[in-house]
Homo-oligomer: A and B are copies of this chain.
Amino acid sequence: MPQYLATSDPDFSARFTALLAQKREADADVDADVARIIADVVERGDAAVIELTARFDKLDLTPETLAFSEAEIDAAIEKVPPDERAALELAADRIRVYHERQRPADARWTDPSGAELGWRFTPVSAAGLYVPGGLASYPSSVLMNAIPARVAGVPRIEICAPTPRGDVNPLVLLAARLAGVDRIWRIGGAQAIAALAYGTATITPVDKITGPGNAWVAAAKRRVFGRVGIDMIAGPSEVLVIADADNDPDWLALDLLAQAEHDSAAQSILVTDDAGFGQRVAAAVEARLETLARREIAGASWRDFGAIITVTNWDEAVEIADRIAPEHLEICTSDAEALAERVSHAGAIFIGALTPEAIGDYVGGPNHVLPTARSARFSSGLSVLDFMKRTTVARMSPESLRALGPAAACLAASEGLEAHGLSVTARLERLNAEPAE
């Protein structure tokens, strides 16, 4: 049974704080193992990667078979049914079109002092995308990671996708091809992250690593951060649904279950202004749970982490949303648009009853790689910018150096940085010895 809270309860504040602080994932203490794996890959390269893949994935590889061949990819892709191919193509197109709008603009201007200033954006030289194996091997995630990199103009995109016992998801390979991925390595875990960050004889290192993964992958990403760029460390998925009583309880029950079925550590929360409606949604959840194939997972998530919060007005709902900073926020109220405007912290907002979060997972267009575990307070979903970086540009004219140089020299002196000051004053002396033009 999910938790029931109401802002009118005298103990609401304490219970809501406890809900926020609830730990949904066990801390797997794999950091020491991961450090050893990374050191092993750095030292022994391909040999280490191959041994670790044999041990963890029960798969024997050679340097020649570390990557899928084009023929293998072709053969796998041929097995994809036409409707799935068409759906994946539609998704890829929509994600591409959305992300093309994110390409940042360069800028250059001359300011009143005569200084030319600006910035320009360039893509990283190579990106590595991690695609989990097994249950969480999602072709949609391949699109969501690879397409922004391609739109950014990244010239080389590598994927690491473990294939335990050799099992391959053909849709993952098709998604990689649709997204323009250059190479797919059938390796996973910390050894894959180490290979992407440090390279081996066979695997050329990349500059940025993104994509979800288990505790080993997360710990490895944290360790290679600095040597390469990484995206956020993703936690279990979550949804907050804000809804009034003018909604179909079954629709919202399915939206709550769509998060819950990801992972028993996922969290689904309903906020409503009508306690009776909350009960009807809860009943619909129970009814749907009976027939779901993943009812064990979804049921555990709903029982352990699900919550229904009754508010007395929508201001309270906005406050709750900002406290939770949900990865996904659905707003199904009569004034959904206005309510959405007032929320500050959320990864993605789905407005109106006809916008189930699942649309955003696949074909909406925006990225489905979103900040979890309240990190929407300070971070954003994956975007084209994650695969680019900004170089600032400055060019002084004689006038601007005359105008700004003395202040720079003064501040350099105050910070005790003599050569900083001299590098400016040596130029000013020459400029001042010459007649101004």
Contact = CB atoms under 8 A, between A and B. Distances in A.
Contacts of A348: 391-394
13 contacts: A87-B410, A117-B364, A248-B430, A251-B426, A254-B419, A257-B423, A261-B419, A349-B393, A354-B431, A364-B404, A366-B393, A377-B389, A381-B390
A145 to B, nearest CB: 15
Given A255-B423, A359-B424, A347 B392 contact: yes
A208 to B, nearest CB: 5
B208 A361 contact: no
Interface stretch (A42-50, A274-282, A291-299): A291-299
B288 A408 contact: no
A162 interface: no
A390 B397 CA distance: 37
Interface string A416-432: 11111111101100110
Interface of A: 83-84, 86-88, 90-91, 94, 97-98, 101, 107, 109, 111, 115-117, 119, 122, 124-125, 135, 138-140, 171, 207-208, 222, 225-226, 228-229, 232-233, 248, 250-251, 254-255, 257-258, 260-262, 288, 292-294, 298, 337, 340, 343-367, 371, 373, 375-381, 383, 385, 389-398, 401, 404-408, 410-412, 414-424, 426-427, 430-431
Nearest to A124: B378
A258 B371 CA distance: 40
Contacts of A371: 389
A79 to B, nearest CB: 12
B412 A394 contact: no
A347 B377 CA distance: 27
Contact of A139 (B84, B262, B356, B411): B411
Given A229-B375, A258-B419, A357-B423, A362 B411 contact: yes
A160 to B, nearest CB: 17
Contacts of A222: 222, 225
A379 B376 CA distance: 20
Contacts of A391: 343, 345-349, 376, 380
A117 B365 contact: yes
Contacts of A98: 117
A389 B380 CA distance: 5
A303 to B, nearest CB: 15
Nearest to A392: B366
A207 B107 contact: no
A27 to B, nearest CB: 12
A117 B363 CA distance: 12
A404 B94 CA distance: 10
B139 A394 contact: no
A352 to B, nearest CB: 5
A109 B349 CA distance: 15
B362 A258 contact: no
A207 B84 contact: no
Contacts of A376: 389, 391
A139 B424 CA distance: 19
Contacts of A359: 394, 396, 401, 404-405, 408, 424
Given A87-B407, A262-B417, 19 more contacts: A90-B404, A115-B364, A138-B415, A139-B411, A207-B377, A208-B378, A229-B375, A257-B422, A293-B416, A293-B418, A294-B418, A294-B419, A348-B391, A349-B394, A354-B395, A359-B408, A359-B424, A361-B420, A376-B391
